Structure formats: structure tokens, C-alpha cells
Amino acid sequence: MTCWSCQRPAGSGEKCGSCGALQPPELGADHFHVLGLPRRFDLDAKAAEGRFRALSREVHPDRFATADPRARKFSMQRTVQLNEAWKTLKDPVRRAEYLLSLDGWQVGAESGASRPGAGGARERLPVPPALLGEVLELREELAEARAEGDDARVQKLAGDVRQRADEGMASVASGFAAAETAEDRARALEPVAHALIGIRYWRRFLDEVALHDEAQEAKNDAAHEAAAASREDDDSAAASKGSARA
């Protein structure tokens, strides 16, 4: 690529290797390329975050506040691109779904998953009926526990579902590892897609538990405030009686 500033070869970095001018981002680059990371699920999270922060500092708009308008524009574009890439890759579930999308997969909860099929059509992998039945049963138990105010039961259900989600993520990791050397990569990724469908349901369940926890916390805070106000009233009444006797 030719540098817009010096008209010499710019190289492959963020800045021109000849004059140091910030270059426009590669708009079609995938998130892994944007962050300079290998295209794989198993990433070193700490190293990846360090890479993101270093690149962010390098192209931050504040560093180009008085630069050429083109450099300011490229700085903003690169910052947006970096933030979007990191938002996706820092979350293991989003990273897994994004990796599948690079292979042409689409993953959803209600719709299951699909991948490119013969003749341009998409081949669907429906949600397993057993999973739907299990989710329905667990949500009914959760609703019952919440209605009865049984917080211990709610937390027990949440723990069980977190274990299911953790097991699903373990399947995702092993599935991607197996797919790296598989002769039929598309077939090898099927267990990953199925695991991610389940994880979506487990995350929704845990979101409901989080709402329950927030409601419980608000209820407890209100009760503590009411108790504190009552104690203050009692103290004020006792003080008034003491003054009257005096």
C-alpha cells in the first residue's frame, strides 16, 4: 500500500514505515487480524488484552488532535475497529460464535444453527428437543422458587446451570482444537455449534437469576433502611420522654 502522506510504500503496520504517518484501516479485516492475534479460540487472554491496549494507545484520537484531517479520520476509524474487535474477542462465547461465522456458520438460540450447504442453500442444525425440554423444566422450577421466595433453591438452580454452561464451554474449546487438524472441518465444528446453542439458553437462564438477585438486593436494602428509620424514631421518642421527665 502506498502512503497517502509521502507516496512511498507504507508497509503493513499502523503507520508508514517511511514517514510515520498513520495509515487507513483495512476495513475488511477480521477481528483477529485487527488485533494481530492468531485466528483461534484458545487465546492468551492477558496477552490479547495487552495487545489491544497497546494498539489503542498507538492510534488514540488524542494523539492526532492537531494532525492532518486524514490522520484524524484514520485514528477514529482504527479506534472504532479496535474496540469492536476487542468487544467480540474478549468474551469467550462471542469469540466462539465469531470464529464459527468465519467458517460460514450462524448460531442462534431459537433457530439452532446453520452452515453453508450444497448449491448455496443453508443446512440447518435444529435445537435438540432434549435441550428444549430440559430448559423448560428448569425455567418452571425457577419460576416456582421465585414465587415461593425460596432464594436457596434459586441459587441451587443457578449453580447447576453454571455447571452446564462451563461444561458447554469445555466442549467448545475441545471442539475447536479438534477442528484445527480435522480433515472435514465443517463436520468437526458441529459439536461446537451444538454446545453454543445450549450456552445461549444457559446464559438466558442466568440472566433471569441475575434479575432475581437484583430484586432481592433491592428488597433487602429497603428492609434495612426501614429498620434503621424505625430505630431512629424509637431513639427520638426515647429522647423526648427523657426531656419531658427532666
Q: What pLDDT, in 10s, does the model give residues 25-36?
A: 998 899 999 999
Domain membership of residue 98 (yes or no) is no
Q: Is residue 36 part of a domain?
A: yes
| Amino acid 115: pLDDT | 87
User: Does residue 49 sit in the same domain as residue 151?
Assistant: no
**pTM summary value:** 0.83
Q: Which of 28, 58, 90 is a domain's end point?
A: 90
pLDDT of residue 243: 63
Is 60 exceeded by the pLDDT of residue 246? no
**Does residue 171 form part of some domain?**
yes
pLDDT tens by residue, 12-25: 889 999 999 999 99
pLDDT of residue 226: 73
The tally of domains found in the chain comes to 2
The C-alpha angle with vertex 84 and arms to 78 and 87, in degrees rounded to 5, equals 135
Grid coordinates given for 229: 428509620
- pLDDT of 242 > 70? The answer is no
Question: What is the pLDDT averaged over residues 38-43?
Answer: 95
Note whether residue 159 is domain-resident. yes
Judge whether residue 118 has pLDDT over 60. Answer: yes
Do 175 and 213 lie in a common domain?
A: yes
Assign 117 to helix, strand or coil: coil
Contacts of 67 (CB under 8 A, 6+ apart): 22, 75
117 and 77 belong to one structural domain = no
What CATH code is carried by the domain that includes residue 50? 1.10.287.110
Residues 127 and 41 in one domain: no
The helix or strand, by DSSP H or E, that contains position 232, with its residue range, turns out to be helix 190-245
Residues 133, 55 share a domain: no
CA terminus-to-terminus distance, the chain:
92
Res 152: pLDDT: 93
pLDDT classification of 235: cutoffs 50, 70, 90: low
100 occurs within a structural domain: no
Q: One-letter amino acid identity for 91?
A: D
Q: Is residue 69 part of a domain?
A: yes
**pLDDT score at 12:** 85
Tell me the average pLDDT of the chain. Answer: 90
Instruction: Yes or no: say if 185 and 51 are a contact pair by the CB < 8 Å rule.
Output: no
Predicted confidence band of residue 121 (pLDDT cuts 50, 70, 90): confident
Range of the domain at 217: 110-245
pLDDT at 238: 61
Give tens-digit pLDDT for 152-188.
999 999 999 999 999 999 999 999 999 999 999 988 9
**The predicted structure's pLDDT at residue 35:** 96
Any domain includes 115: yes
Q: What angle do CA 184, 185, 186 make, to 5 degrees?
A: 95
Beta bridge partners of 116: 122
Q: What is the pLDDT of residue 236?
A: 66
Same domain? 212 vs 114: yes
- Give the end of a domain, one of 35, 61, 90: 90
In a domain, 104, yes or no: no
Asked if residue 75 and residue 126 are part of one domain, the reply reads: no
